[in-house]
């Protein structure tokens, strides 16, 4: 199946830990197209309002024109991966931080190994009240969610959406992250699948394996839902219905798997190495 849409991609050269130059960004785009993608939202890491939206737009337009000249059929949209921080919502309301393709949806990430900030719940709830829709970036790799998955369930039930990474399903970040990813799918806690590619490296190489794992777990029609239908609604700023999370979300301390999701030193190192 072709025509996938990647909602989480680090492809703009020189802005973050993605491609360092135009040639590497071009190679990234070529690989993505070969994997079946037709469009992607460029989502550089943003912390304390940097890089500025104008800089992201400028790099995006330069890269899009370059891809056009190279006859690479990948449509790019502006966005950002916003770090969870106290003034995130204010920056969104003032237009100082980018949403996904100018929509009401915004991509937000958390520290992989640190506790969730104490204001996380209230900030995300206030964002929903004010008409924004948070998309949580790869929570399967976040220790705070893995240790207490009821936190993730609560946010999804409130209206937050979840982006799972193809590399996580493929086992790129270790077996525990992979098992947590499968559980999230079973509990209907996943709404989008994206590459979180950082250039033409292991994450993009694992994309095909991750998609095949999704098909194995959820059926072939699931690729259309997670990689086409829902992402296209984001690009057009439309709402869509999602299922309620499963009723069997475990409480922290009651399930041996969740107590040890990130306890293995090897998997912690794998998770860090592939950030």
Radius of gyration of the chain (CA): 17
Backbone angles phi, psi at 193, to 5 degrees: -115, 130
Q: pTM of the prediction?
A: 0.90
Residue at token pair 């973050």: 16
* Predicted local confidence at residue 274, as pLDDT: 53
What is the Cα–Cα distance from 191 to 227, expressed in whole angstroms? 9
Rounded (5°) CA angle 263-268-274: 155
* Predicted local confidence at residue 131, as pLDDT: 98
Under DSSP, is residue 185 helix (H, G, I), strand (E, B) or coil? Answer: helix
* Predicted local confidence at residue 49, as pLDDT: 85
What is the Cα–Cα distance from 173 to 140, expressed in whole angstroms? 10
What is the Cα–Cα distance from 272 to 253, expressed in whole angstroms? 24
* Predicted local confidence at residue 195, as pLDDT: 98
Q: Which of 42, 46, 55 is nearest to 9 (CA)?
A: 42
What is the Cα–Cα distance from 69 to 58, expressed in whole angstroms? 17
CA-CA distances (angstroms) from residue 61 to 74, 105, 210, 229, 266? 13, 21, 30, 25, 41
CA-CA distances (angstroms) from residue 176 to 146, 205, 216? 9, 20, 18
pLDDT in single tens digits along all 275 residues of the chain: 579 999 999 999 999 888 999 999 999 999 999 999 999 999 999 998 899 999 999 999 999 999 999 999 999 999 999 999 999 999 999 999 999 999 999 999 999 999 999 999 999 999 999 999 999 999 999 999 999 999 999 999 999 999 999 999 999 999 999 999 999 999 999 999 999 999 998 999 999 999 999 999 999 999 999 999 999 999 999 999 999 998 544 443 333 333 333 334 434 444 444 54
CB 30 within 8 A of CB 59: no
CB 39 within 8 A of CB 235: yes
CA-CA distances (angstroms) from residue 39 to 12, 147, 193, 217? 14, 34, 14, 25
Domains parsed from the chain with CATH numbers: 4-273 (3.20.20.140)
């Amino acid at each position: 199946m072709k025509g996938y849409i990647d909602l989480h991609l680090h492809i703009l050269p020189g802005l973050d830990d993605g491609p360092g130059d135009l040639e590497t960004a071009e190679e990234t785009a070529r690989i993505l197209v070969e994997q079946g993608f037709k469009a992607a939202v460029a989502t550089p890491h943003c912390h304390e309002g940097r890089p500025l939206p104008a800089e992201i737009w400028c790099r995006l337009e330069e890269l899009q024109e370059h891809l056009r000249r190279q006859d690479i059929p990948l449509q790019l949209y502006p966005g950002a991966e916003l770090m969870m921080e106290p003034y995130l919502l204010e920056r969104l309301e003032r237009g100082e931080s980018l949403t996904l393709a100018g929509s009401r949806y915004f991509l937000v990430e958390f520290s992989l190994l640190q506790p969730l900030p104490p204001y996380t719940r209230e900030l995300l709830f206030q964002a929903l009240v004010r008409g924004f829709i948070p998309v949580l970036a790869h929570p399967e790799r976040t220790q705070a969610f893995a240790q207490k998955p009821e936190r993730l369930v609560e946010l999804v039930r409130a209206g937050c959406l979840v982006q799972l990474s193809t590399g996580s399903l493929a086992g790129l970040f270790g077996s525990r992250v992979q098992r947590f990813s499968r559980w999230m799918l079973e509990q209907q806690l996943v709404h989008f699948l994206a590459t979180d590619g950082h250039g033409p490296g292991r994450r993009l190489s694992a994309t095909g394996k991750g998609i095949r794992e999704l098909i194995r777990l959820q059926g072939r029609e699931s690729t259309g839902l997670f990689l086409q239908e829902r992402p296209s609604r984001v690009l057009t700023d439309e709402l869509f219905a999602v299922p309620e999370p499963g009723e069997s979300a475990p409480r922290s301390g009651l399930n041996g798997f969740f107590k040890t999701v990130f306890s293995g030193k090897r998997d912690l190192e794998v998770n860090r190495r592939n950030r």
